[in-house]
């Protein structure tokens, strides 16, 4: 998909806007998990999530194309949309973003604050995604997909930072939405010639990628009803699945209660906020505690954009329920 030189160039693009995010080995998490745990803090980007990296590289590449672009459109549950809103503004383009009805109020507010026009459509991400494609044609807007090689190259820069900062990671857990984060880890690992095992994580209530990985081909689901909205995917990307099937060790499913418990663990052990998808990798590590003893494990805290109401429920020992 791209070379190490191209990945290095992408890192230069990203670091022109934001500094590399930190990675820390938190001792209390290590005690909890029974192994050495390194957290890649993608909750420390200017949008509070890893997606910004992809948006910056995507628009940098788009600016080099001959295609005249006056505005862009995309669909999201929040973090991809914040990325597109901020990155498009950096390149002087307007952004229209579709979200499903009932989307995170606070993520919606953030996207508007970065300058995007927000449209609510459909009951879930996949319905909003289909409508964004229709509107792109109707209004003559450039459609930014949820999965694209340029997005993956940008996202891969966090993996490049992580692997170079922490040597000899035995395994890394990463949440799976549309797959760019997992594919980015796989690509960076392979370009650096490492042997680290990479494990994807999905919600039990949104298992499309796990089902597709097991089947070796795309398997759609009828719903993706998880409070971890960054993983609420019903229809996997075939291109992402191809990379994942070749490069991931497996995909682990975690329950809503396990995700909520991991959010509490992050807060108590590190005083960091994690949204549902951001906590999923830690949830999977804790679920597989018995196979990690004595190993050096990485977890990707992919975002910290959790609504106050949901966090209030979690921190008081509960698990958010969907309306």
Residues 173 and 307 occupy one common structural domain: yes
- Quick check: is 323 in a domain? no
- pLDDT value, residue 1: 82
Q: What is the mean pLDDT of residues 26-46?
A: 98
Q: What is the pLDDT of residues 116-152, one digit of tens each?
A: 999 999 999 989 999 999 999 999 999 999 999 999 9
Asked if 89 and 129 sit in the same domain, the reply is yes
For the chain, the residue count is 323
- Residues 40, 50: Cα–Cα separation, whole Å: 10
CATH number (domain holding residue 231): 3.40.50.1100
Q: For the segment 248-264, what is each residue's pLDDT rounded down to a tens digit?
A: 999 999 999 999 999 99
Percent share of the chain, pLDDT over 70:
100
Mean of pLDDT over the chain: 96
Domain boundary among 143, 172, 191: 143
pLDDT at 29: 98
Q: In the chain, pLDDT over 90 holds for what percent of residues?
A: 95
- State mean pLDDT over 261-270: 98
- Same domain for 98 and 161, yes or no, is no
Number of domains in the chain: 2
Confidence class of residue 68 from pLDDT cuts 50, 70 and 90? confident
pLDDT in tens, 289-310: 999 999 999 999 999 999 999 9
Report whether pLDDT(223) > 90: no
Three-state DSSP state, 41: strand
In which region does residue 79 sit, left (phi positive, over 0), alpha (psi from -120 to 50) or beta (all else)?
alpha
Average pLDDT, integer, range 267-278: 98
- Helix residue ranges, H only, the chain: 4-15, 27-33, 52-62, 79-90, 105-113, 125-139, 149-165, 180-192, 208-215, 238-247, 256-270, 276-287, 308-315
Asked if residue 136 and residue 88 are part of one domain, the reply reads yes
pTM for this structure? Answer: 0.95
Residue 148: predicted pLDDT: 96
Of 112, 143, 174, the domain-final residue: 143
- In a shared domain, residues 27 and 127: no
Q: Is residue 288 part of a domain?
A: yes
pLDDT-derived band at 66, boundaries 50, 70, 90: confident
Q: Tell me the angle at which helices 238-247 and 208-215 cross, rounded to the nearest 10 degrees.
A: 60
> Which whole number is the average pLDDT over 177-186?
97
Residue 278 belongs to a domain: yes
- Average pLDDT of the segment spanning 178-194: 97
**309, 193: one domain:** yes
What number is the average pLDDT over the span 14-26? Answer: 98
| Average pLDDT of the residues in 153-169 | 98
CA distance 321 to 239: 32
- What SS3 state is found at 197? strand
| Domain limit, last residue, from 124, 143, 162 | 143
With cut-offs at 50, 70 and 90, classify the pLDDT of residue 234: very high
Q: Does residue 185 share a domain with residue 58?
A: no
Task: Give me the helix-helix angle, 180-192 and 238-247, nearest 10°.
Answer: 40
Task: Assess if residue 320 is contained within a domain.
Answer: no
User: Is residue 174 located within the same domain as residue 286?
Assistant: yes
pLDDT digits (tens, 9 = 90+) for 79-116: 999 999 999 999 999 999 999 999 999 999 999 999 99
d(CA 98, CA 278): 22
Question: At residue 323, does pLDDT exceed 70?
Answer: no
Domain presence at residue 322: no
Containing structural domain, residue 153: 4-49+149-315
């Amino acid at each position: 998909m791209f070379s190490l030189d191209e990945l290095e160039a992408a890192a230069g693009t990203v670091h022109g806007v934001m500094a590399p995010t930190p990675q820390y080995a938190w001792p209390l998490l290590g005690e909890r998990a029974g192994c050495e745990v390194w957290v890649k803090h993608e909750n420390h980007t200017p949008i509070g999530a890893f997606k910004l990296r992809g948006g910056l590289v995507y628009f940098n590449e788009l600016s080099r194309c001959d295609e005249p672009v006056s505005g862009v459109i995309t669909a999201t549950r929040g973090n991809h949309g914040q990325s597109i809103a901020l990155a498009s503004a950096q390149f002087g383009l307007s952004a229209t973003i579709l979200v499903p009805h009932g989307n995170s109020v606070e993520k919606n507010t953030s996207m508007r604050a970065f300058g995007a026009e927000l449209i609510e459509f459909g009951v879930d991400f996949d319905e909003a995604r289909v409508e964004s494609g229709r509107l792109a044609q109707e209004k003559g807007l450039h459609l930014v997909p949820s999965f694209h090689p340029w997005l993956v190259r940008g996202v891969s820069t966090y993996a490049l930072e992580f692997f170079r900062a922490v040597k000899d990671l035995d395994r890394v857990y990463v949440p799976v939405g549309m797959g760019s984060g997992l594919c980015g880890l796989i690509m960076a690992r392979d370009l650096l010639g490492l042997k680290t095992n990479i494990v994807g994580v999905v919600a039990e209530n949104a298992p499309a990628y796990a089902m597709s990985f097991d089947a070796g081909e795309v398997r759609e689901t009828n719903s993706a009803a998880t409070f971890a909205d960054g993983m609420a995917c019903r229809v996997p990307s075939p291109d992402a699945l191809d990379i994942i099937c070749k490069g991931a060790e497996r995909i682990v499913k975690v329950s809503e209660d396990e995700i909520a418990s991991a959010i509490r663990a992050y807060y108590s052990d590190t005083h960091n906020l994690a949204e549902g998808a951001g906590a999923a990798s830690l949830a999977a590590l804790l679920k597989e505690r018995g196979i990690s003893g004595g190993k050096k494990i990485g977890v990707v805290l992919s975002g910290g954009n959790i609504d106050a109401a949901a966090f209030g429920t979690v921190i008081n020992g509960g698990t958010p329920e969907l309306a």
